[in-house]
Structure 1
């Protein structure tokens, strides 16, 4: 008989009933091969005496094992380990590790016992809001978010309406109130011509890009992007097996003449990905004549345009240029946007705007990934659009970010020229900064972090075989005083670590 008194340890102080603890530990012994198929277990009275338990506790544990299929009862003979289990070779404890897992050979729990493909192109640094000084990728200032208004909208969700409707399953496309209000907002501010049926609400724009890629792309399809582009998009394209080709990006945005030549050579282009309002990462705006030409090429060669308009709401020169989707007459543009950058990253609200046939298909695919979004958050954001609170927030944030952009650009010019070169962006929440080629960008980011300033090295913006020596320096999420301190830290790091002694200034 196995040494049950040593093998089984129950803890009566735990919230889990003792009979369930006993039943589970018997199951673990069976899975580990300590108890083998067909082995007879002690009688309930005998095991109760061994473990100093009430006999009824053991009876309940055996009943649970019978119900789970681990055990079987034989009339007049007793309780046995079920005969249908295969022979399992008991695992030996490693000589220097008394905690080896019964789940596999790796006692640390890091590696499974089966093989799978790990895709290197999915490895990408996770950008987070830093609690200290930061020149981030271009995040909003969460301190400006309309939290009180959102809180009131959330409470109204609980107070009003039918609970069965509010807390049951909802529309896969998103809460109707948000789609209605967002349709009105997009038509008013972006010149679109939508109805709620043209909109799918997603958890951020990245879900919209993923769903669109999965529906429109197949292995071997050609997707064209700029030489510099957003890695989050290209990762999705590559996951489908698509081939990615690139064209140059200059001070006027995507080179559509180069795209036209590519179309002549490869007349099977399936999709072109663009961020025309503020190109990522360089922030340049696609010139109007290039926009027209891009739409003409899409109609001629029948490729889809995936337009990511990630920060349309923040443009500082009068009225921003309207999206490509506003001039689309042939249904060639899939328009993806987000309220995440406009409010706060934690509020995962994105959207896809497209002809209804595509929206319906995207919704069907979304259903097997994520049955629906967050109805409470979607309702709350819809309420803020309906009451005008969100539009007031946009106007307030726009004024604030405009002032911060101007002050930040002044600081870059007065404190970091000529080591740092940039063009003042017309909009968005970050500056694309190019550093002196003598500067190691990885080392710069590391040493700035040691001084309390987070910034990205920008190396993941580099096209294959090129060194841009550039990165995005976000200004929107920092106050003017925080921006001044950040630039002084950066200046001192450049002076002390990279041979620019004239840049060192005492605090």
Structure 2
């Protein structure tokens, strides 16, 4: 019987739906189709047990009239709920809430507040205390003293966008949009190998290149292949904190050696090798992270000879090779490796902008092949269109032109930053002018602490950040990195103004 011809039945249906009518809030200007909005809200009512299994729903025409929508909207909603299994149709009887839905635990829901359901968890999982870091929420009025990142305002976004659009408009581009090589786009691998051979003295072919999502993925894969629980890896007593954390996830044996003005002290590495086997040495040879010092030529040769003699890998993280202000860049260890001991890791993220996750591993073919096998399970492949964009960006010379441009800008910023540090803080800070990179290694006078400085700085809307991560080995060197590349001249003066107010107060206390 049609409810439109039976006023009593229609009245009963309206009364039945009335308690839930206000639950349906359809937004006609929303990008989500009305039938999907209605479907999702029906699901909420069912989950909340306001509509229980075997409840009969009104006909599509009646519900459409009640909600002031087209009947086709309700029909599409019911079809969607049928497909998902929330409803069932019983011939000659009507549409019902599925009688076979599992019992849902009754719980109190807040109207239009779905966040509450995500605040608790109904299962157990493993946590890693090594990965815990304080989440910083930086307000717009605050300045953040970073540890050396590029200024994304200098990114050649228009050039990259034009290249990306041109590549995407090619007739055969669809061939690049399915599953591809685990190693990364073949054109980029070949172009990158040629570019690194030319600019960094490497001796690599396409088969030695694995494209990654930045240098961090390269280190992750390397650690995965090199280290088990009791394997030993050597790092500096001052070292890149993320690398320490990564290696400690794979082994309990992290051995530290001293770092001086010439980089890692390789005599200490040799002494370790005489006492026990090691699997790898991690080194940032060009500008040591965090101290910015360069590994000397004598120690480079010594380290390569040690790796040959004791058969360990050298993980060379060349994170900022492109930024040198006083001299031509020193060629990486990988350029002198004739025995296949060096795993060379780098990226274009620092050079262009962190958002472009294009990195690489350069290593012997067998290692690259196994790294690709491992990569399959964390990131099946990279972004082929982005990789093709950067292949063109490198091959056309645009990358070199960008580097030359930002080098001049960053050198001027380094000079101003260090000049002001020296003028205003010579009694509390000591540092050496960095020859390259995007940060200064600043040592605080021993009678002060970075904890006090960081706490005071917040009064002046300056965030120092996680100063503790620079001394994971607990050497009490009392130093942190201060990045300069991110700030223009006006911002550098403003940062120094806030830092001056901070240190004035710290001095008084």
Which TM-score tier does this pair reach, normalised by the shorter chain? 0.7 to 0.9
Does the 8 A contact of 2:141 with 2:461 survive in 1? no
Alignment correspondent of 1:504: none
| Residues 42-441 of structure 1 mapped to structure 2, 5 A cutoff | 42=57, 44=59, 48=63, 51=66, 61-75=77-91, 78-92=94-108, 107=116, 109-124=118-133, 135-160=145-170, 162-267=172-277, 269-441=278-450
| Kept after mapping to 2: 8 A contact 1:311/1:341 | yes
Question: Deviation of residue 335 (structure 1)?
Answer: 0.7
How many residue pairs match? The answer is 491
The answer (yes or no) to whether the contact 1:33–1:89 under 8 Å persists in 2 is no
Match of 2:7 in 1: none
- Judged with a 3 Å threshold, the aligned counterparts in structure 2 of structure 1 residues 79 and 165 are, in CA distance, closer, same or farther, namely closer
C-alpha distance after superposition, 1:79-126 (max 9, x if no partner)? 554444333343246xxx66776xxxx826333222222322212357
Match in the other structure for 1:472? 481
- Classify the secondary structure of the residue corresponding to 1:244: strand
Cα distance between partner residues in 1 of 2:179 and 2:366: 23
State the distance in 2 between where 1:128 and 1:209 align.
28
- Between the aligned partners of 1:152 and 1:19, the Cα distance in structure 2 is 39
Distance change (3 Å), C-alpha of 1:421 and 1:41: same
* 1:496–1:42 distance in 2 versus 1, CA, 3 Å: closer
**C-alpha displacement of 1:167:** 4.2
Aligned-residue CA RMSD in angstroms? 3.4
Quote how far apart the aligned CAs of 1:461 are.
0.7
Query: What is the CA–CA distance in structure 1 between the aligned matches of 2:490 and 2:75, rounded to whole Å?
Result: 71
- Give SS of 2:116's match: coil
CA displacement at 1:47 relative to structure 2 = 7.1
Cα distance, 1:26 vs. partner? 4.1
Please report the TM-score for the alignment, with normalisation by the length of structure 1.
Answer: 0.84
Do the aligned partners of 2:176 and 2:384 also contact (CA within 8 Å) in 1?
yes
Contact between 1:217 and 1:240, CA under 8 Å: does it hold in 2? yes
Q: Are the structure 2 counterparts of residues 59 and 166 from structure 1 closer, same or farther at C-alpha, using a change threshold of 3 Å?
A: closer
Segments of structure 1 that go 5 or more residues without pairing to the other structure are 501-507
Are the equivalent residues in 2 in contact too, given 1:198–1:355 (CA < 8 A)? yes
Deviation at 1:438, TM superposition (A): 2.7
Cα gap change, 1:198/1:46 in structure 2, threshold over 3 Å: closer, same or farther?
closer
Moved more, 13-22 or 213-222: 13-22
> How far apart, CA to CA, are the structure 2 residues paired with 1:64 and 1:347?
39
Give the TM-score normalised by structure 2: 0.84
- By how many angstroms is 1:400 displaced? 3.4
Partner residue in 1 for 2:47:
31
Q: Distance in 2 between matches of 1:3 and 1:385?
A: 67
Measure, in 2, the Cα distance between the counterparts of 1:460 and 1:392. 35
8 Å Cα contact 1:223-1:242 kept in structure 2: no
1:199 Cα shift?
Answer: 1.4
Greater displacement, 196-205 / 452-461: 452-461
Compute the displacement of 1:311 (Å).
0.6
Counterparts of 1:384 and 1:155, CA distance in 2: 13
User: Any idea what the Cα deviations from partners look like across 1:130-185, whole Å, max 9, x if unmatched?
Assistant: 99766431122334433443343234324445232354444332333332322122
Change (3 A) 1:17 1:375: closer
Q: Are the equivalent residues in 2 in contact too, given 1:441–1:457 (CA < 8 A)?
A: no
Runs of at least 5 residues in structure 2 that lack an aligned partner in the other structure: 1-12
Deviation at residue 209 of structure 1 after TM alignment: 1.5
